[in-house]
């Protein structure tokens, strides 16, 4: 008996630069059943650190480069994308971020792709009002829109996406890749893993580190991630006189090892849908101190898996960090509970299923 033909699927990203969405989609592509799906990856820029990982698991990686939406050339590229969808007989299109939503959902509708799935993976994107309106219009061409947190799903509904079209699928993590901390050195480490963007609010962590410098003398801070704000944040650390205790590590491929050597994970964001860094830290058995915003309200339970604090205020952040620094047994118990929570609720297997 002949096996069923593969279903042609297109997964659409803006680029392959290191980031939460790119990581999640790379893992999705790796885990889709090759016997059932023929996976093509579409992008607006065929570049970035994650490109080799995607290429090795995709039937093809296709670029439709644009330089902005307010250009005639972009309309031509959307038409070319629609033609490509028809030629490959794409049955399912999944757009994964802001720009791919706008470009891909319109092109998919032109091509009459049967199933068109948009995404909402951020709460307050750093975009113009015009761009946000374009995304709202693009959602009208979607069969379904995936939100990665209840907070993102709520925003979709306020933007006019029918509740029946909203599907909530949290991010996943491979907990087995994150060993629990075993080393117990005298130097205690606070770590954050997030690209250096304004909404990640690293400034508050640096200010909190300055407040704790005298009362927690053996506490060190590691900022993992890269971005255009690095020089600004390094100057801020110098202004607060914490350059000896705050290390900017840039983009790292050994995040599991860094988390395993840390004691406390901090995420002081102003806005979050469902942060990969936090679930990876929980998978590594770390307590999470984070802003009480967006998807973090659903992910972190104060007193059980971490501590939630008001955003953009270094004083309560410092108090929370100090409380775990002064009670390492409590911190370790929170970390163990966080690890159990992630293994039970946020596996990649659950996400892909």
Place of tokens 């698991």: 57
Q: Which helix (H) or strand (E) holds 290?
A: strand 288-291
* pLDDT at position 176: 85
60 in the same domain as 16: yes
Helices (H), 97-161: 98-110, 129-139, 150-158
252 in the same domain as 123: no
Residue-wise pLDDT for 5-46, tens only, equals 999 999 999 999 988 899 899 989 999 998 999 999 999 999
End-of-domain residue from the set 169, 195, 214: 169
279 in the same domain as 154: no
Range of the domain at 135: 7-169
Classify 37 as helix, strand or coil. Answer: strand
247 in the same domain as 155: no
Tell me phi and psi for residue 81, to 5 degrees: -65, -45
CA distance 108 to 139: 12
Q: Residue 221: how many CA atoms within 13 Å on its side-chain side?
A: 29
149 in the same domain as 226: no
14 in the same domain as 146: yes
* pLDDT at position 2: 53
CA dihedral of residues 80, 86, 89, 90 (deg, nearest 10): 50
* pLDDT at position 1: 45
> Which tokens go with 98?
């802001």
pLDDT mean across residues, the chain: 93
CATH code: domain of residue 119: 3.40.50.2000
Indicate whether 245 belongs to any domain: yes
**Number of domains present in the structure of the chain:** 2
CA distances 108 to 85, 112, 233, 258, 331, Å, are: 7, 6, 41, 41, 48
Of the pLDDT bands very low, low, confident and very high (cuts 50, 70, 90), residue 123 is: confident
211 in the same domain as 165: no
* pLDDT at position 4: 82
* pLDDT at position 353: 62
End-of-domain residue from the set 122, 147, 169: 169
For residues 148 and 171, is the Cβ–Cβ distance under 8 A?
yes
> Residue 336: is its pLDDT beyond 70?
yes
CA distance 18 to 330: 33
* pLDDT at position 208: 98
205 in the same domain as 110: no
Indicate whether 2 belongs to any domain: no
For residues 230 and 262, is the Cβ–Cβ distance under 8 A?
no
Indicate whether 352 belongs to any domain: no
Classify 144 as helix, strand or coil. Answer: strand
Residue-wise pLDDT for 260-316, tens only, equals 999 999 999 999 989 999 999 999 999 999 999 999 999 999 999 999 999 999 999
284 in the same domain as 189: yes
Indicate whether 353 belongs to any domain: no
For residues 166 and 153, is the Cβ–Cβ distance under 8 A?
yes
Indicate whether 196 belongs to any domain: yes
Residue-wise pLDDT for 162-214, tens only, equals 999 999 999 999 888 888 776 656 779 999 999 999 999 999 999 999 999 99
219 in the same domain as 245: yes
Indicate whether 284 belongs to any domain: yes
First and final C-alpha spacing in the chain: 26
> Residue 350: is its pLDDT beyond 90?
no
165 in the same domain as 147: yes
Q: What is the pTM of this model?
A: 0.87
Indicate whether 256 belongs to any domain: yes
Classify 232 as helix, strand or coil. Answer: helix
Indicate whether 30 belongs to any domain: yes
192 in the same domain as 127: no
End-of-domain residue from the set 141, 169, 197: 169
């Amino acid at each position: 008996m002949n096996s069923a033909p593969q279903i042609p699927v297109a997964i659409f990203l803006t680029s392959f630069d290191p980031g939460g969405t790119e990581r999640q989609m790379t893992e999705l592509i790796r885990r889709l059943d090759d016997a059932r799906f023929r996976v093509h990856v579409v992008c607006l820029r065929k570049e970035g650190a994650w490109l080799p990982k995607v290429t090795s698991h995709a039937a093809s990686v296709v670029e439709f480069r644009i330089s902005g939406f307010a250009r005639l050339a972009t309309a031509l590229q959307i038409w070319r994308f629609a033609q490509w969808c028809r030629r490959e007989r794409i049955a399912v299109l999944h757009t994964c971020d802001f720009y791919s939503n706008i470009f891909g959902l319109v092109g998919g509708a032109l091509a009459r792709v049967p199933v068109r799935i948009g995404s909402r993976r951020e709460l307050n994107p750093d975009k113009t009002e015009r761009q946000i309106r374009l995304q709202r219009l693009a959602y009208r061409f979607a069969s379904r829109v995936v939100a990665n947190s209840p907070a993102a799903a709520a925003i979709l509904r306020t933007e006019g996406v029918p509740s029946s079209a909203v599907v909530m699928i949290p991010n996943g993590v491979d907990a087995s890749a994150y060993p629990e901390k075993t080393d117990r050195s005298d130097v205690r480490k606070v770590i954050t893993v997030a690209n250096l963007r304004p909404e990640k609010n690293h400034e508050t962590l640096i200010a909190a580190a300055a407040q704790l410098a005298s009362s927690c003398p053996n506490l060190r801070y590691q900022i993992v991630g890269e971005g255009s704000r690095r020089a600004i944040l390094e100057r801020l650390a110098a202004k607060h006189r914490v350059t000896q205790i705050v290390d900017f590590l840039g983009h790292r491929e050994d995040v599991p090892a860094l988390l395993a050597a840390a004691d406390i994970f901090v995420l002081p964001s102003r806005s979050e849908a469902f942060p990969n860094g936090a679930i990876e830290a929980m998978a590594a058995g770390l307590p999470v101190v984070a802003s009480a915003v967006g998807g973090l309200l659903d992910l972190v339970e104060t007193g059980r898996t971490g501590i939630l604090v008001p955003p953009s205020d270094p004083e309560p952040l410092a108090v929370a960090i100090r409380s775990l620094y002064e009670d390492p047994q409590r911190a370790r118990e929170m970390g163990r509970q966080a690890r159990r929570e992630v293994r039970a609720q946020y596996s990649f297997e659950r996400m892909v299923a």
